Amino acid sequence: METNKKVLVFIPEFPVLTETFIERELSKLVERNNVDLVVFSLKKGTGHLSENLRTKVLYQRLGFPDIFGILKYTFSHFDKISKIYGDLKPGSHSRLFLILKSVGYSLKFATQKPDLILSHFLSEPSTIAMVSSEILGVPFAISAHAKDVTVTYEYVEKKASEAKFITVCNKSAYYFLLNLLGGNNPGNVYLNYHGVDSGRVMREALGGIKRPDKYLILSVGRLTEKKGFSYLIDTAKILKDRGLDFVCYIVGFGPLYQDLKRQISDLDLEEQVKILGENKGLSNSETLGLMKVSDVFVLSSIQTAEGDVDGIANVLLEAGALSLPIVATDAGSTCELISDGETGLVVPQRHPNAIANAVEMLLTDKSFASNLCKNAYARVISGFDSSANIVKLEELINQ
């Protein structure tokens, strides 16, 4: 009987509260039992970890005791390490440090005897996976996402030429990557959505959440520039001035927490805008529970000056799966899911007036909003079902 391939998944931090799509995808892989999975992570995150993953995650970092082993391997395999060093063009960090670090992690990876190293992100983690692949003689693959493709990518051509496959989870990042490769697909770069398990979303949504006795506007995401929350707060000011009786909940954590709190105070919006979670966020089940009782979901994302932008925000898929009316900006790959006037309302980024108009439209025209919800749910089920996307990932792993 043929045994499953052993896949070592390398993720710097896991599980991450704002990267639930990774945790769910890995849980689905374990559930289907067509690959033998081990997750190697450097740091334990604060996100939810499914029961079937609890024995699959290994947390290890390099430390002082590893130095001897790294130096011993480097000197005993000097020709191999010298070649790897020469093949790496100078980057933003020391090649020597990168290679020594990769030697250290490759020695740890080797204890798991993987058939494939699958790294998330096209940035440094997949560089470590690539070098470890050369050291161990084991193939590697990459799951790429958003900022790691458009901003923090490195050694892209080398990775594309050597990886077994690279998957990208949205069209915006997919075509950006192909452009980095000169406009041509080398034959191993694939568009494959992470998708969402709508049944699981419904099961995980916490019940019994009491909603306010006024319109409830909800937004979810890390408190970073690309999420555009400052524009959502400006939108709230416009809606308040128009006399709308509402409250806007923002669920998230991040470096802009104090700046956004200050903006809320400066605009005298303490009664209208609440950032929940005291800069720690909420659990995914609490967030999904809030979606179930909200009147409209707003994604106010932007593309930053450095090029950082959302792919398809996972919260959009969740909102669609829960039949929540959606207003979203035209940043990133949002329009793959949200078609204006069909599955939601799409407005220009950095345009609070347009967001306010769209929100009011969905709050006041319930029939129109209901039709958008039905269409969004149908699109999530037909185009972003996680089961279909997992099958494609398994095929790539086992090819």
CATH code, 373: 3.40.50.2000
Share of the chain above pLDDT 90, in %: 90
* Sequence-ordered strand ranges (E) for the chain: 6-14, 36-44, 57-59, 116-120, 140-144, 166-168, 189-191, 215-220, 246-251, 273-276, 296-299, 326-329, 345-347
Cβ(113)–Cβ(37) below 8 Å = no
Is residue 227 situated within a structural domain? yes
Same domain? For 205 and 184 the reply is no
| pTM higher than 0.85 | yes
Same domain? For 227 and 129 the reply is no
pLDDT at 202: 86
| CA-based nearest residue to 171, from 195, 191, 194 | 191
Q: How many CA atoms lie within 13 A of 252 on its CB side?
A: 25
Same domain? For 282 and 318 the reply is yes
pLDDT at 94: 80
Lowest mean pLDDT segment, chosen from 95-109, 200-214, 349-363: 200-214
Q: What is the mean pLDDT of residues 291-303?
A: 98
Is residue 174 situated within a structural domain? yes
Instruction: Please give the residue range of the domain that contains residue 114.
Output: 6-195+385-398
Residue range 163-186, pLDDT digits in tens: 999 999 999 999 999 999 999 899
Same domain? For 369 and 394 the reply is no
Same domain? For 365 and 240 the reply is yes
Is residue 268 situated within a structural domain? yes
Is residue 1 situated within a structural domain? no
Same domain? For 172 and 108 the reply is yes
| CA-based nearest residue to 221, from 19, 1, 8 | 19
Angle between helices 366-383 and 314-321 (to 10 degrees): 120
CA dist 102 and 91 (Å) reads 15
Same domain? For 190 and 212 the reply is no
Same domain? For 295 and 377 the reply is yes
Cβ(115)–Cβ(7) below 8 Å = yes
Same domain? For 267 and 390 the reply is no
Is residue 17 situated within a structural domain? yes
Is residue 53 situated within a structural domain? yes
Is residue 167 situated within a structural domain? yes
Same domain? For 32 and 113 the reply is yes
Q: Which residues have a Cβ under 8 Å from the Cβ of 343 and sit 6 or more positions away?
A: 320, 326, 337, 372, 375, 376, 379
Same domain? For 204 and 160 the reply is no
pLDDT at 322: 96
- Tally of domains in the chain: 2
Is residue 213 situated within a structural domain? yes
Same domain? For 162 and 223 the reply is no
pLDDT at 210: 86
Beta-bridge partners for 10? 40, 119
Q: What average pLDDT does the structure give for the chain? A: 95
Q: Kindly tell me if the per-residue pLDDT of 91 is higher than 90.
A: no
CA dist 223 and 254 (Å) reads 4
Residue range 17-75, pLDDT digits in tens: 889 999 999 999 999 999 999 999 999 999 999 999 999 999 999 999 999 999 999 99
CA dist 335 and 83 (Å) reads 45
